[in-house]
Amino acid sequence: MVSVLDRKVLRDVWALRGQVVTIALLIGAGVAVLVMSVSSFLSLRGAQQAFYAESRFAEVFAEVKRAPRTLLARLAEIPGVAVVEGRVGGEARVDWLGAEVPVAGRVLSLPASGEQSPLNRLRLLAGRLPEPTRHDEAVIHAAFAEAWQLRPGDEIAVILNGRRERFRIAGIAHSPEFVFTSRPGNPLPDDRGFVVLWANEEAVARAFDMQGAFGEAVLTLAPGASEPAAIAELDRLLLPWGGRGAYGRRDQPSHRFLEDELAEQRTLAVTVPLIFFGIAAFLLNVVLGRIVEAQREQVAALKALGYPSLPIAAHYAKFVAVICLLGSALGIAAGAWMGAGMLGNYRPFFRFPEMPYLLPAWLPLVAVTTSFAVALLGVLAALRRILRLPAAEGLRPPRPAAFGGRALSGLGRRLPAGAKIPLRGLLGRPLRTLLTVLGIALAVPMVVLGLFWWDAMDSMVELQFDRIERGDAFVALTDPRPSRAVREMARLPGVLAAEGQRIVPVRLRAAQRSRLLALTGLPEGAELRVPRNADLRPVPIPHDGLALSRRLAERLGVREGDTVQVEVLEGARRVHDLPVAALVEDIIGFSALMEIGALNRLMREDDLVSHVALRVDPMAAEVLWQHLAERPRVAATNVKAVWLRVFDEVIAGLVLTSAMTLTGFGVIIAVGVVYNSARVALQERGWEMASLRVLGFTRQEVSRILLAELAVAVLVAVPLGLVLAQWIVELVLGARDNESFDVPAAISTATFTTAALVVLGAALASAVAVRRRIDQLDLVAALKARD
Amino acid sequence: MLLRALMTTAADAAPLAGAPPPNDEATPVFVARGLCKTYGSGEATIHALRDLDLDILPGEFVVLLGPSGSGKSTLLNILGGLDAPTSGRAAWRDHELTGADEAALTAYRRDHVGFVFQFYNLIPSLTARENVELVAEIARDPMQPEEALALVGLSHRLDHFPGQLSGGEQQRVAVARAIVKRPDALLCDEPTGALDVETGKLVLSAIARANREVGATTVVITHNAAIAGMADRVLRMGGGRIVAIEPNARRLAPEELVW
């Protein structure tokens, strides 16, 4: 049986449907963000765990110049090591006529048995593994195969160690090592420009003169085994054979990028819904509080009729529950839809054989519970005020709201009386005004948060590619060469300038923290790579010490002047203590820099270069890429223009989605606050406004008086919101934990302007909706008692 | 200045056609002929007014007396330009009230009518003076707000907010607000309905004084028969009709009323 009060709940919901819907949307937005970010995080995590388990993804990785296969048995005896696999790998360059620039790649060996590797097993999407006897068959990575629409049976020509080899594609596969693939040094996937091939051990070993040897060891550890201990022992055993330093999954490029994204997603899954629910709780406090407040006479009447407080409180809780359920249902549906969409956005980045969308049953429950708790919190204060009200209040004739005090009566003395009404409304109830202003203001950061990514991308590109990396192409050599290689390259047609760099893998240590990365040697006065400090001024390249990325220094816990230990993971693997001479800004990845001569002396080597940065005449670029592709000593060529195009393609979709979602949320907030404030104002003061109409005020005049208060609130709120936006963007970026990108909190004027206009527009639309109700005021009712 | 301009322009308030005629004692200002007002339909039809005729003379003080449901509020609403009859006609001088559009009725109320409500309907955020000023700002030839408040005996309460005034004082502010525009008609709906006797008398004398000194044709509706003594004419209503017209030979001062 439906009680009378329950019927009142339904009728109240219907009567206040405009407000109910706008508040439900607000709750729905919070729920949607929560469901979206948590579910996409869980789905990505789920895909990762499933694939890692299925494919037996290794936990420790080591590279060595050339170690005999017999050493593998010794490695397997290291305490804590479960499985060891030795393999041969190398750089591959692909002659791919369709590609505008040479395709870079890696080739890895598969066991001689012709069976799956014990670790890092491939998941074949099509075809099969190469026959054990065939040396001209290969499996290629699914990303490249998809990008070029390659099928088993197609042929691919690869330059391995300077020799051209042809492979027939036997199969197409995913690999846990290459969930995220990118050309070395590029933080974004370029499926068309990077390939991984797997071929029989014999074929790869022959190409790299590695018969009977291995160049890479991958391991898993027994449960509970110490990874650092295993790595230390591995390093000790591999050192005589040219070991380049073993590392854990944490430093495996694909895994690290994926973890970065997961960490970021986890942060966003907490911070953004928190911000959102915070705003929602606050708005519900304002809006629901006022709706309940507007019913104070009804509550008093119910109490006078003998209703105990509890059922009355329960009645309003039910009213809130209806709104919450409505909002949650919308939010869960929208969140699931957006979560699945978000996962779709990940697909170009992360190659899993399966990435099913997961929405665990507890998530909607948590979302509903949270929204209900937040909403209840919002109305609690108002409910308590009302329940404390003596019942007699409802039976008394209406009393004018308390206004008074000399300060108020002096306010705006010279203004017309009609202008004093909104002014006093604003200043007479400062707390309510403050809450309204804050509520509207909070809509601005939502829109800014959505739009600002475009600015961030622009400034990232500007800083990294116009100011720091000033070359048009970056060429990796197969091995370090004397510096005359730079002069030779400078003479190639189309090259305007060439600068050599020496890049060596190192492990940096500071106290307990360590980090694998590339140490780059730059010539003094380099113009194609200009390190810059926080003020974006060029930093001279240090001769006696390192220049470190500021973010790297933070991670290592070192400051300028501190000493870090540098273990060179190449050649004799010497260890040096070097001072941090300068801090530099980097947008993408971390860097450690020193003068190239100093680096070569550190290595006790001659004047060597391993990479060459080029400035290129755009008219001659295509010919140059072909030229470079034919040079045997060139391992890979990265072209800035291609990189920027990939960046645009990959990032634009992501940014557009988030911009539209968050702008939508901003509109929901702005409409939620303005519409509800206006409706409540009309509820509270409709009688006053009808009286003015009876006294001869026109509809326009009355609307102005009622809406002027909100107009002032909106005009104060928008600039405040812009300030809040800067602050919230910094807060969200500060909560990020991503090594791949540093996103600068640079918000453009256009973004600020758009956000302000969106909020103003939403406010205006809300005002127009309420204005129509003002036109329908019942004048005759004003002559009678207010209800 | 801008705000002032905003508050005082009356874009949708167009004056009714026709200039007012010379104030001829014999010409009635309010004329109603065959006024009918029904609410609802079928068996649930309520006849608030049934074929009512009425003339009210310039400057006259009329009391509409009757029980609730007798139609007196409906009649006042039609005379005040707040409601339209179902049939029949009502006019203020040569302004037809029946059939006039919303903007014309707003202009009529603005230029000619002062209202006093049962529950005062003051703006709580404005002081007594400012509540009066509010109407003065949109009037053509208002008196000073202070002058209007002096007429109702509230010169000493100018800067008090409604919340700081007693019910009687609030109602006198409402009277001052109604007369500050020097209205041609002063329409009062149960002005003492929410007040005790003594306070009610103060309000009634304010209304009587306004009627006398501003010369506004005054219509007061009440169900309190004691008030009838202060009228020029008492119109008794019942069942949507005027059932009796009782002229008073002598108007009593409010202090003389007994109820």
Question: For position A639, what pLDDT does the model report?
Answer: 85
The alpha carbon torsion through A302, A304, A306, A310 (nearest 10 deg) reads 50
Q: Of A399, A439, A452, A375, which Cα lies nearest the Cα of A721?
A: A439
A470-529 pLDDT tens trace: 999 988 888 889 989 999 999 999 999 999 999 988 889 988 888 888 899 999 888 999
Q: Listing from the earlier edge strand, what are the strands of the sheet with B30-39?
A: B46-56, B30-39, B87-92, B95-96
Of B226, B8, B38, give the one whose Cα is nearest residue B110.
B8
> Cβ contacts (< 8 Å) between A691 and chain B: which residues?
117, 121
Which of B254, B64, B61 shows the shortest CA–CA distance to B168?
B254
pLDDT of residue A784: 66
Per-residue pLDDT tens digits for A301-311:
777 777 777 77
HSE-CB of A312 using CA atoms within 13 angstroms:
26
CA distance B213 to B230: 16
Question: What pLDDT does residue A391 have?
Answer: 63
Contact B163 A779 (CB under 8 A): no
Answer yes or no: are the C-beta atoms of A159 and A106 closer than 8 Å: no
Taking only the tens place, the pLDDT of each residue in A650-689 is: 777 777 777 788 888 888 887 887 888 888 778 777 888 8
The model's pLDDT over A346-402, given as tens digits with 9 standing for 90+, comes to 888 899 999 999 999 999 998 888 888 888 877 777 777 767 766 666 545 445 555
Is residue A465 helix, strand or coil? Answer: helix
From the list A403, A419, A691, which residue is nearest B7 (CB)?
A419
Which backbone phi and psi does A577 adopt, to 5 degrees? Answer: -105, 125
Q: What are phi and psi for residue B34, nearest 5 degrees?
A: 60, 35
Q: Copy the structure tokens of residue A600.
A: 């070569």
Angle between helix A296-304 and helix A309-346 axes, rounded to 10 deg: 140
Q: Is A493 on the interface with B (CB under 8 A)?
A: no
Give the closest of B109, B133, B162 to A696, CB-based.
Answer: B109
> Which pLDDT value is given to residue A558?
92
On the question of pLDDT at A299 being above 90, the answer is no
Exposed e or buried b per residue across A396-415, where buried means at least 16 C-beta atoms within 10 angstroms of its C-beta: eeeebbebeeeebbebbeeb
* Sequence-distant (≥ 6) Cβ neighbours of residue A537 within 8 angstroms: none
Residue spans per domain, chain A: 60-253, 405-470+640-787, 495-616
Domain-located, residue B48:
no
> What are A177-197's pLDDT values in tens digits?
999 887 766 667 778 888 999
Other Cβ atoms within 10 Å of A626 Cβ, number: 13
Bridge partners, A94 (sequence order): A103, A158
Cβ-Cβ contacts under 8 Å between A and B: the total is 135
ipTM of the complex: 0.82
* pLDDT tens by residue, chain B, 259 residues: 333 333 333 333 333 333 333 344 568 999 999 999 998 887 888 888 999 999 999 999 999 998 888 888 899 999 999 888 999 999 999 889 998 888 899 899 999 999 988 888 888 888 899 999 989 988 888 999 999 999 888 999 999 988 889 888 999 999 999 999 999 999 998 888 878 888 888 889 888 988 888 889 999 998 888 888 899 999 999 989 999 999 988 888 888 887 6
Q: Which two tokens stand for residue A359?
A: 């929405």
Residues A156, A637: Cα–Cα separation, whole Å: 19
CATH number of the domain at B221, please.
Answer: 3.40.50.300
Q: How many domains does chain B have?
A: 1
The string of pLDDT tens digits covering residues B37-96 is 998 887 888 888 999 999 999 999 999 998 888 888 899 999 999 888 999 999 999 889
Which residues of A523-658 form beta strands (DSSP E)? 546-549, 563-568, 575-584, 592-595, 608-616, 634-639
CB contact under 8 A, B106 and A698: yes
What distance in Å separates residue B119's CA from the closest CA in chain A? Answer: 6
Average pLDDT value for residue range A753-773: 89
| Domain ranges, residue B224 | 57-86+95-256
Q: Nearest to residue A160, comparing CAs of A196, A208, A193, A197?
A: A208
Q: Can you give the C-alpha Rg of chain A in angstroms?
A: 33
The reply to whether B131 falls in a domain is: yes
Q: Do A701 and B111 touch (CB under 8 A)?
A: no
Contact B110 A697 (CB under 8 A): yes
Summarize the confidence of residues A240-244 as an average pLDDT.
88
Alpha helix (H) residue ranges in B9-101: 72-79
Q: What pLDDT is recorded for position A404? A: 56
User: Looking at A242-246, A280-284, A440-444, B224-228, which range is the least confident one?
Assistant: A280-284
The Cβ of residue B163 has, within 10 Å, a number of other Cβ atoms equal to 15
Backbone angles phi, psi at A694, to 5 degrees: -60, -35
**What is the least distance, in Å, from the CA of A760 to any CA of chain B?**
21
pLDDT tens for A624-658 read 888 887 787 887 788 888 878 877 777 777 777 77
Q: Return the beta strands (E) in chain B as ranges.
A: 30-39, 46-56, 61-65, 87-92, 95-96, 113-116, 185-189, 217-222, 233-238, 241-247
Cα–chain center distance at A627: 39
Tell me what pLDDT residue B1 has.
38
Cα–Cα separations (whole angstroms), residue A413 to A229, A380, A416, A513, B20:
80, 38, 8, 67, 37
Dig out the tokens for A16 from the structure.
């206040």
Nearest to A516 by CA among A188, A781, A253, A127: A253
Q: What is the DSSP letter of A429?
A: S
Phi-psi region of B120 (alpha: psi -120 to 50; beta: other; left: phi over 0): left
* Cα–Cα distance measured from residue A64 to residue A341, given in angstroms and rounded to the nearest whole number: 42
User: pLDDT tens digits for A75-114?
Assistant: 999 999 999 999 999 888 887 666 666 788 899 999 988 8
Q: What is the pLDDT of residue A401?
A: 57
Beta carbons of A416 and B133 less than 8 Å apart: yes
Q: In this structure, is residue B50 part of a structural domain?
A: no
Cα Rg of chain B (Å, integer): 18
Query: In this structure, what are the phi and psi dihedrals at residue A569, rounded to the nearest 5 degrees?
Result: -95, 30
pLDDT score recorded for residue B64: 93
pLDDT, residue A393, reads 60
pLDDT averaged over chain A?
85
Q: Is residue B234 part of a domain?
A: yes
Euclidean distance between CA atoms B78 and A365, whole angstroms = 58
Per CB-CB distance under 8 Å, the chain B contacts of A785 are 118-119
Three-state secondary structure string covering A309-356: HHHHHHHHHHHHHHHHHHHHHHHHHHHHHHHHHHHHHHCCCCCCCCCC
Q: How would you class A381 by CB atoms within 10 Å of its CB: exposed for 0-12, middle for 13-18, buried for 19 or more? A: middle
% of chain A at pLDDT higher than 90: 34
The predicted structure's pLDDT at residue A337 = 93
Task: Determine how many CB atoms are found less than 10 A away from the CB of residue B166.
Answer: 12
CB contact under 8 A, A696 and B113: yes
Please tell me the pTM assigned to this model: 0.74
pLDDT at A341 over 70: yes
Read off φ and ψ for residue A601, nearest 5 degrees.
Answer: -65, -40
Q: A192 is written with which tokens?
A: 């068309």
pLDDT tens across A607-625, in order?
Answer: 899 999 999 998 988 888 8
Contacts of A421 in chain B (CB under 8 A): 123, 125-126, 134
Distance CA B107, CA B15 (A): 5
pLDDT for the residue B9? 37
CA A562, CA A510: separation in Å to the nearest integer?
A: 9
Which residue out of A424, A701, A784 would a mutagenesis test of the B interface target, given it has the greatest number of B Cβ atoms within 10 Å? A701
Q: Which of A417, A694, A699 sits opposite B12 (nearest CB)?
A: A699
- Amino acid identity of residue A269, one-letter, is A
